[in-house]
């Protein structure tokens, strides 16, 4: 399936939804991101300008109706089930209670998707906590030929390197549940920093553009997983 066909399918979704449901305010069905408010003391709220910029870019590039702002959800909040796309980032500790891990697993095994990013310092904590959610599965590096790397833009070498961190190459890891990618985790990449307003990190547009393109790939992949396989 080529990009034009994928885009057509994406644009068709709101039409089908509106035909099958009672009228509602125009923004009710807009795509948005659920920023995961986790416990443990880490800065789940970091990069405050990043997600609005990503949502705007996704809309401009793909035509997907997108809200101007993310919403905040906790892993134990029942509202999580109304937000299919979750985003987690930060620099420090993450803690999921057993109840939160159970609910997050339920969400991710019934159609939800989690995009997690190491904003420098959460790697060991995220790896530990995601094991609570999927104790029987391991994070594994996502191969470069996986559809997440060409769902809209082409990233033949995996996620782009946005910030230096430890100087290691950027990597993308995933949790595959019943053969489907349900968690995507970027390490040593830091796309979220690249999504921020230009005056925050002073990254050149070329770097920020790559970050926004890769973020768009993750969104498109998460929304159209079945068609992309």
Mean pLDDT split into 10-residue runs, the chain, 229 residues: 46 38 50 97 95 98 97 96 96 96 98 95 96 98 98 97 84 97 96 93 92 98 88
pLDDT of 167 reads: 76
Tokens of 35: 């920023």
Cα–Cα dist 140/148, whole Å: 14
pLDDT of 227 reads: 82
pLDDT of 27 reads: 59
Residue indicated by tokens 């926004």 = 212
pLDDT of 205 reads: 94
pLDDT of 163 reads: 78
- Give CATH superfamily name and number for 3-18+30-228: Domain of unknown function DUF4159 (3.40.50.12140)
Residues 6+ apart with CB under 8 A from 132: 96, 98, 101
pLDDT of 170 reads: 95
Residues 6+ apart with CB under 8 A from 66: 30, 31, 32, 55, 56, 58, 59
Confirm whether pTM is higher than 0.85. Answer: yes
CA neighbours closer than 13 Å in the CB half-sphere of residue 202: 0
């Amino acid at each position: 399936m080529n990009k034009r066909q994928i885009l057509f399918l994406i644009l068709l979704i709101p039409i089908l939804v509106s035909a099958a449901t009672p009228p509602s305010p125009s923004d009710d069905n807009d795509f948005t991101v659920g920023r995961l408010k986790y416990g443990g003391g880490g800065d789940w709220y970091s990069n405050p300008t990043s997600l609005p910029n990503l949502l705007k870019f996704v809309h401009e590039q793909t035509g997907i109706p997108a809200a101007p702002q993310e919403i905040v959800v906790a892993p134990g909040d029942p509202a999580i089930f109304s937000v299919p796309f979750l985003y987690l980032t930060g620099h420090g500790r993450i803690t999921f209670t057993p109840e939160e891990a159970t609910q997050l697993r339920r969400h991710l095994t019934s159609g939800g998707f989690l995009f997690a990013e190491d904003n420098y310092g959460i790697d060991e904590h995220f790896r530990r906590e995601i094991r609570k959610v999927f104790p029987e599965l391991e994070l594994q590096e996502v191969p470069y030929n996986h559809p997440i790397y060409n769902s809209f833009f082409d990233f033949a070498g995996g996620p782009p390197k946005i910030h230096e961190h430890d100087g290691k190459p950027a990597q993308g890891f995933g949790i595959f549940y019943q053969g489907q990618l349900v968690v995507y985790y970027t390490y040593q990449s830091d796309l979220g920093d690249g999504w921020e307003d230009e005056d925050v990190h002073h990254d050149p547009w070329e770097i920020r553009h790559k970050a926004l393109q890769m973020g768009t790939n993750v969104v498109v992949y998460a929304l159209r997983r079945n068609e992309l396989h």
